[in-house]
Structure 1
């Protein structure tokens, strides 16, 4: 298995950050035209990985839906950091901290409008790491 850790700066606001190019670049080096599986994992307790259409409003819709489902208010028992920080710790139960994507001939077998994205509601930590692993078939 080949693996690499990439650093991502998410800034100081909630974000859906596109990782697709990073994943493609990693596979170009590591898969070398082979079939297998790409595993994308974020080793943080307050972030997730989503396969979603980006750039057409879906990313903003996702953040709005998470805002309604997990409001940034004082209801959370886990209460250090920014207001509503506890919701960031609940989010990975809804948007898992990983995704596995089939790789065919060295490229992700994504649907036409699918992208790989890091979902991060935690405004207290703008530095994230994402582990990309290629498991050859």
Structure 2
């Protein structure tokens, strides 16, 4: 298995970061043009990975839906950090911290409108790592 960590700066705001390019580049290199599986994993307790259409409003729709589902208020028992920080620890139960994508002929076998996105609601931690692993 080949593995690599990429770093993603999400800034001090809730974000949906497109990491499709980095995933595609790693899969192409690690697979040598062959077939296998790309596993994308976020080793953080407050972020997730989603396969979603990006750039057509879905990014903000997802953030709005998560804000409705997990409001940034004082209801959370996990209460350190910024207001509503506890909700970011609940996020991975709804947006898993991993995704596995088939790689065929060195290319990600994503659907036409699918992208790989890092979902980060934690405004207290602007620097993230994502582990990419290829299994041929």
Counterparts of 1:24 and 1:69, CA distance in 2: 31
Equivalent residue, structure 2, for 1:87:
87
Alignment gaps of 5+ in structure 1: none
Q: How many residues align?
A: 136
TM-score (norm 1): 0.98
Equivalent residue, structure 2, for 1:78:
78
Equivalent residue, structure 2, for 1:105:
105
RMSD of the alignment, in Å?
Answer: 0.4
SS for the counterpart of 2:83 is: coil
Equivalent residue, structure 1, for 2:23:
23
Equivalent residue, structure 1, for 2:66:
66
Alignment gaps of 5+ in structure 2: none
Counterparts of 2:31 and 2:54, CA distance in 1: 25
TM-score (norm 2): 0.99
Counterparts of 2:63 and 2:54, CA distance in 1: 12
Report how far residue 12 of structure 1 moved: 0.5
